[in-house]
Amino acid sequence: MRTILFVCTGNTCRSPMAEAIARNLLDKGSVDGVSERVFVASAGTHASAGSPISGEAAAALRRNGIEHDGLSRHLTAAMIRRADLVLGMTSGHVAAARALVDADPDQAAKIHPMDEHGDIDDPIGLGRQAYDRLAAQFAELLPKRIAELLRPT
């Protein structure tokens, strides 16, 4: 089984939303070229372990027919080493993940920005529309990004 790890700051908004949407897309077979089972997880560079997903993030997911009840986890080097693909929400998250594995070339090669064109904005405090836009952004980005970066073994 392959593993995708999404990384943000607090692991209560962006990365758990990406995790839930990616899991939904993969379960539906909506990612071209990925037919095997994939384990999807998320963590935060500054997460307090055990915090629930934000209410706004959970509501945005529910509006898209997706349930998610995970708790936040702090990003560790071991998580990165176990993953086949690590997607950071910002260039800072990518750099923090690479720093955890001491820029090991094999590990660094699997750490990428979620959006190759720029950072994914944090929706915290910006209301329902920001969370709904983020869910739509993930639904559009994830199939392409996963298919492109989750290389066959």
d(CA 104, CA 120): 25
98 as an active site residue: the answer is no
* Residue of 14, 23, 98, 145 with catalytic role: 14
Is residue 49 left, alpha or beta, with left meaning phi > 0 and alpha meaning psi from -120 to 50?
beta
Task: With CA atoms as reference, report the closest residue to 113 among 144, 152, 86.
Answer: 86
Burial class (CB in 10 A: 0-12, 13-18, 19+), 95: middle
122 as an active site residue: the answer is yes
d(CA 150, CA 43): 18
* Residue of 115, 119, 122, 132 with catalytic role: 122
32 as an active site residue: the answer is no
The residues that are catalytic are: 8, 14, 122
